[in-house]
Structure 1
Amino acid sequence: MTQVPASPSIENRTFDEIRIGESAALARTLSRADIELFAVMSGDVNPAHLDEEFARTSKFSDIVAHGMWGGALISTVLGTQLPGAGTIYLGQNLRFLRPVMLGDTVTVTLTVQEKDSGKRRIVFDCLCVNQHGQPVITGSAEVIAPAAKISRPRIVLPEVRLIDKYARYRELLAKTRALAAVTAVVAHPCDEASLSATVEAAKAGLIKPVLVGPAAKIRAIASAAALDISSFTLVEAAHSHDAAEKAVRLVAAGDAEILMKGSLPTDELMDAVTARTGGLRTRRRMSHVYVMDVPSYPRPLLITDAALNIDPSLSDKRDIVQNAIDLAIVLGVDTPKVAILSAVETVDPRLRSTMDAAALCKMAQRGQITGGVLDGPLAFDSAVSQSAALAGQVASPVAGQADILLVPDLTSGSMLAKQLLYLADSQAAGIVLGARAPVILTDCSDNLLRRLASCAVALLLAHHYRTSPP
């Protein structure tokens, strides 16, 4: 019996070389990645293979492999071992006797049963057994074996990285499952994107919307997009400035617990939020946080401030850091690690961001910033990569495992966040902290997923603020 060769080349067995009773085998252990890759390749998204909740109610009480995953292993033996390169697959007859579960090791054995010299056809007996020796697949396969000897370099396969864009979003929604929806005022939802996101957030049980804006215009947009807003409260506002002021007043009066930006410009809404009379100010500086889902990073990543504070002072940065730490704790991070970003890891009086980083770390040591672990200055690579930190001889409790990235200014923060969004296939929820209620700032380019994730973050904060007001 032959096994998968360790050789860097593939060499076949010709028809004349193969003997009755000869066999070849390989063994594979089923992983979740195997199931997901097979589903992506085949389009077979049967929930029995992918949905844990559904699978628990099925006959086997757990996720099982696609039946043809085992069939594909049979094809692997035929195409790479026996007969190998040059084989033409004619037919296959299989019976599936037992499910293959996650973690099962399947050994595929093909044995030559018949040879037809006139047509160079060979029939193989196929047997797949699990790690307990129990048959999971039996059957036969018929091929045309190659006549000529072939030896070729083994192809080096490209690396495949599976990206589940919705995994952390599902985790975020799971945190909100036990929470009741709260009233959210949506300021000037006068485009389809903001209105449809509001409808979907209400369907998901995240918010109870109050729409503030020109009622006739909002109803026309809803009608054109086939959106049902009949259960929503509408508050008439003449224009976007009026909508922003009325929306903020509703939150300030306690009639709503979340403020959500619609299609009006950010500065119009924030002018109303930060107004000294009738606004939503607290004693802390307001700041914006992107809650990023970066597929290549092993944990959620918070970036602040990339939307509100243009060139924050040291005092501003203290509040910005504390806001982000408080949010991270609400999201379930016990002791958030904060990387204070700069271009270098050494303190240089000529580079203000390094001086601010050193001061913020000392402020944390003195209890002026609480709840997290701070370190800086740190370059971006050292903040998110332990190997980069080691290569640069950066000894840090934060390096390579940052939960929060504090950027030097709005320009660098905006560029960093958008590079991750557009070049790293990331997702982001956006929220304003330091106000009397969570403020959802959406961008015109935000997709539905980002908008719903922002609503989920706001819901978690709203319930937290009931017992710990900002």
Structure 2
Amino acid sequence: MSAKSAVRNTTWAELKVGDSASIERTCSVQDLILFAHVSGNLNPLMLPSADGADEKTDPVAPSMWVGSLVSAVLGNILPGPGTLYRAQNLSFLGRVHVGEKVKVTVVCREKREEPVAVFDNKIINAVGQIVCEGTSEIEAPTVAQVIEARHLPSLIVDTADHFGRLVVLAAKLPPLKTVVVCPDDHNSLSGALLSADRGLIEPILIGDPERIKAAAKAMDADISRYAIESAADPHLAAARAVAMVLEGRAGAVMKGNLHSDALLAEVVKKDGGLRTQRRISHVFALDVPTLDEILYISDAAINIAPDLMTKVDIVQNAVDLARACGLEQPRVGILSAVETINPAIQSTLDAAILSKMAERGQIRGAIVDGPLAMDNAIDVEAARTKGIASLVAGRANVLIVPNLEAGNMLAKELTFIARAEAAGLVLGAKAPVMLTSRADNDRARLASCALAQLYEYWRREGRAFGDQATVAKAAE
């Protein structure tokens, strides 16, 4: 074992009065989240805000977390492995906040009958103020040990609620009149009502009135203030929803308890649908615990095997949504199985052409690069290992997949394996369409409404909603 990978303890016999050891530690949001999980202490003063609604950005570290740093010095350094506590006395003289660095020092004050020793403890902040002091009575190890330094398993802690911030931002806009198609089960109706309560939408419920009322009764919800339009079956309900948008009675459509095909068939109809000059596509927005910003994936729901020119619209639609949500210049990775151009793999050729089209201004508002494989699109180290020099590689926040199958599998793997939260929006139509899975929860529908609000503002005004500071905060 090398010196760097091993720790040698100090036995009671070797320990001398006056011996000391120190560590430095910076308090992070992750520390507070993990401590809350372990201790069960959910004091709001000691946790970041849950949904971005609270302007408080400086939570206080729990005093016991601060005190626990003493045990790190005693157990890891002096006396080190084999140390056991007998007693601990601490006085807390100051507070530690997220981002503050502290220095923790222990000094051997007294050796008692073997194996007992007493240590003075002091914790000071970056400006030299004492935030904690006290004494530790411990049992020092009596046998010398050289212990290999232990590397703990990695933890994924989702410390940022990106969707929550977008919901807060979108709620500052007037509610968007939204036709909710067949909201006749718990998930679809409760999501619509939650979005209405948060001020994102003004719902118009369309479908079988008796089924809608039965769903409301089952969840003890009052829907008397909302308009209900009767439609005999899901296909008629979808057709009527599209017609209401064309008539100017609604500005968006939300999918309820019906198959996506039934709704999309009416949206993409050549006559009487919501088509525009741009190809309609779907974008998944995912709040992934391991990423620092929302990840956008397209197209995973509408275009089965898009050709090159369809992909141009798919990319532009995704870029526009990302910019509407606060990304000033999205980084778009065009995915394939490999990161090199291979004439036998059509998606690598498409990726290279799309990258060049973006350079020539045929795709606007983003940096586009490809082909990229999933690893080197997302992970900087993977991109560096493969020698890819790019402004996108390792940092992509928009991913364009080769076909629907790849996109759908990728989005659902992130949702069900990586525990990402997902929202979905259909773009390129005359109005945004919130296309969520029937199994999606209230939060997915709420986030989809926020996307629709911000995207509709972008379409109307040609810029993201809010001042630059507000939008940047929402995008963090």
The answer to whether TM tops 0.5 is yes
Which residue of structure 2 aligns with residue 127 of structure 1?
122
Structure 1 position 365, deviation (Å): 4.6
The corresponding residue for 1:75 is 71
Q: What is the identity, as a one-letter code, of the residue corresponding to 1:137? A: C
Call closer, same or farther: CA 1:279–1:72 in 2, change over 3 Å.
Answer: same
Unaligned runs of 5+ in 1: none
Change over 3 Å in CA distance of 1:126–1:328 after alignment to 2: closer
Flag the 1:106–1:357 CA change in 2: closer, same or farther, 3 A: closer
Matches of 1:382 and 1:138, distance apart in 2: 48
For the residues of structure 1 that align with 2:356 and 2:79, how far apart are their CA atoms? 69
Of 62, 65, 80, which aligns to 1:66? 62
Q: Secondary structure at the match of 2:64?
A: helix
Aligned to 2:18: 22
* Partner residue, 2:242: 248
CA contact (8 A) 2:171 2:198 kept: no
Q: Alpha carbons of 1:96 and 1:45: their partners in 2 closer, same or farther (altered >3 Å)?
A: same
Q: How many residues align?
A: 458
1:8-407 equivalences in 2 (<5 Å): 8-14=6-12, 18=15, 21-32=17-28, 33-51=30-48, 62-113=58-109, 116-117=112-113, 121-146=116-141, 148-164=142-158, 166-407=160-401
Give, in whole Å, the separation in 2 of the partners of 1:298 and 1:104. Answer: 21
Q: Which amino acid aligns with 1:264?
A: L
Shifted more, 269-278 versus 388-397: the winner is 388-397
Asked whether the equivalents of residues 60 and 96 of structure 2 are also in contact (C-alpha less than 8 Å), the reply is yes
The verdict on how the C-alpha distance between 1:123 and 1:392 changes in structure 2, with shifts beyond 3 A counting, is closer
Tell me the CA shift for residue 452 of structure 1.
Answer: 1.8
Q: What is the match of residue 468 of structure 2?
A: none
How far 1:98 moved relative to its partner? 1.3
| Secondary structure in structure 1 of the residue aligned to 2:412 | helix
Q: Is the 8 A contact 1:55 1:62 kept in 2?
A: no
Kindly tell me: are residues 240 and 51 of structure 1, through their superposed partners in 2, closer, same or farther at Cα, counting changes over 3 Å?
A: same
Give the whole-Å Cα distance in 1 for the aligned partners of 2:181 and 2:230.
11
Q: CA deviation at 1:165?
A: 6.3
Further displaced range: 298-307 or 341-350: 341-350
What amino acid is aligned across from residue 35 of structure 2 in structure 1? F
Is contact 1:294-1:426 (8 Å) kept?
yes
- Does the aligned pair in 2 maintain the 1:47–1:55 contact within 8 Å? no
Give identity over the alignment, percent.
43
How far has the Cα of 1:280 moved from its partner?
1.3
For residue 396 of structure 1, report the CA deviation from its aligned partner.
3.6
Is 1:435 the counterpart of 2:437 in the alignment? no
1:424 equivalent to 2:421? Answer no
SS at match of 2:328: coil
Q: TM-score scaled to structure 1, two decimals?
A: 0.87
The one-letter amino acid paired with 1:318 is: V
Check whether the contact 1:307–1:410 (CA below 8 A) recurs between aligned residues.
yes
> 8 Å contact 1:73–1:108 — kept in the other structure?
yes
Deviations 1:338-384 (A, max 9, x none): 32222334444433223333443444455433323333333333322
Report how far residue 466 of structure 1 moved: 3.2
Q: Is the 8 A contact 1:294 1:425 kept in 2?
A: yes
Output one character per residue of 1:299-342: Cα deviation in whole Å (capped at 9) or x when no partner: 33221111001112222222212212222221222233332222
Letter in 1 for 2:157: I
Q: 1:29 to 1:311 in 2, by over 3 A?
A: same
Q: Deviations over 1:177-215 (max 9, x none)?
A: 432221111100121111111122122221121111111
Amino acid at match of 1:402: A
Task: Report if the CA contact (8 A) 1:338-1:375 is conserved.
Answer: yes
Structure 2 residue runs of 5 or longer lacking an equivalent are 464-476
